[in-house]
Amino acid sequence: MLRIRRFEEKCAELYSAAKIRGFLHLYIGEEAVAVGAMQALEAGDAIVATYREHGHALARGVSAASIMAEMYGNREGCSRGRGGSMHLFDAATRFYGGNAIVGGGLPVAVGLALADKMQRRMRVTACFFGEGAVAEGEFHECMNLAALWKLPVLFLCENNLYAMGTALARSESEINLSLKASSYEIPAWPVDGMDVVACEEAARRAVEAVRSGGGPHFLEFRTYRFRAHSMFDPQLYRTKQEVEQWKTRDPVVSFRARLRQEGLLNDEDLKPMEEDVAAEIAKAVEFAEAGTLEPVEELTRFVYSERTTP
Ligand SMILES: Cc1ncc(C[n+]2csc(CCOP(=O)(O)OP(=O)(O)O)c2C)c(N)n1
Ligand SMILES: [Mg+2]
């Protein structure tokens, strides 16, 4: 969680310095969800995420350097600089992105899970998405088909209460999201998304059920983003007090306090942790700074698949 927090703080700084351009959606405040859930997954499982996915990529094991290079638009980036912040992708860790389309990852995840089921592979596809996606038609299509075909997919809904500036209760008649999944016969329950241990426990339980043939499961993580939706957002839709209130439950601070309290961590342990993270990020920035852009001649490469000549 500390790695993700510090990495994104650096990204915000680099964005202000116009080193990173385009869109940038920070995950700060929500780290417990990706970190907790990722502990329950195995190397062979697949991950699908949204445009707020730096934390998921880092927690999955995509290197900080290749993510930073991607942010810079460099060809050394995990998507060759063609994706940027919203489209991190890494075949080696089965990280299927990053997706700028709200709800766009859901059919990808259901398709991956369908392939696994048809080929009788015991793999799980974990699909992270924001609560804003429940307003999309494809959310309902995906819930229906996943349940109907009993697909090995885990839906991980990150309910941070807002979709850009729209509060959930302003756009949905039913704000109990587990109930929406349950209506498709998908087992679903809410989880404290600010508590990394609760997130891991819930994910383990759900992943085990999915892996053992129990069909799709749905977790609603109740969480909060501390920063703006993206770098352009005056945040007129929420009060400063509300943000401050949620910050008292900061997942990094509260987990650190818990570890201290239980005698598992002291200040001497923390210092090298901070130093390691700082060194890793400094190296990632150095790597990105030294990066190169793809040549113009390659602009249309990958638009169509490359066939070998017969
Ligand atoms: C299909 C589609 N409609 C609208 C948008 C514009 N848009 C970008 S982010 C966003 C809000 C999504 O909120 P949520 O799913 O709750 O995710 P969060 O940003 O809170 O993590 C919207 C409406 C989009 N990217 N895709
Ligand atoms: Mg949201």
Write the secondary structure of 137-198 as one string of H (helix), E (strand) and C (coil).
HHHHHHHHHHHHCCCCEEEEEEECCEECCEEHHHHCCCCCHHHHHHCCCCCEEEEECCCHHH
For residue 24, what are its two tokens? 């940038």
Burial class, 270, CB count within 10 angstroms (exposed 0-12 / middle 13-18 / buried 19+): middle
Residue with CA at minimum distance from ligand 1 atom 4 = 102
Does the C-beta of 101 come closer than 6 Å to ligand 1?
yes
Residue with CA at minimum distance from ligand 1 atom 18 = 130
The CA–CA distances, whole Å, from 16 to 6, 11, 24 equal 16, 9, 11
Task: Check residue 309 and give its pLDDT.
Answer: 64
Task: Check residue 293 and give its pLDDT.
Answer: 95
Q: Are 37 and 199 in contact (CB under 8 A)?
A: yes
Task: Check residue 267 and give its pLDDT.
Answer: 86
Does the C-beta of 164 come closer than 6 Å to ligand 1?
yes
Q: For residues 199 and 201, what is the distance between their CA atoms, to the nearest angstrom?
A: 6
The whole-model pTM stands at 0.97
Q: Are 116 and 154 in contact (CB under 8 A)?
A: no
Pocket test for ligand 1, best of 26, 85, 102, 136 (most atoms within 8 A of CB): 102
- Inter-axis angle of helices 105-118 and 137-148, to 10 degrees? 10
Per-residue pLDDT of the chain (310 residues; tens, 9 = 90+): 999 999 999 999 999 999 999 999 999 999 999 999 999 999 999 999 999 999 999 999 999 999 999 999 999 999 999 999 999 999 999 999 999 999 999 999 999 999 999 999 999 999 999 999 999 999 999 999 999 999 999 999 999 999 999 999 999 999 999 999 999 999 999 999 999 999 999 999 999 999 999 999 999 999 999 999 998 899 999 999 999 999 999 999 999 999 999 999 998 999 999 999 999 999 999 999 999 999 999 989 988 888 776 6
The closest ligand to the CA of 102 turns out to be: 1
Q: For residues 2 and 289, what is the distance between their CA atoms, to the nearest angstrom?
A: 23
Q: For residues 82 and 71, what is the distance between their CA atoms, to the nearest angstrom?
A: 10
Task: Check residue 24 and give its pLDDT.
Answer: 97
Task: Check residue 310 and give its pLDDT.
Answer: 62
Q: How far is the CA of 130 from the centre of ligand 1 (A)?
A: 8
Which residues have CB atoms below 5 A from the ion given as ligand 2? 130-132, 160, 163
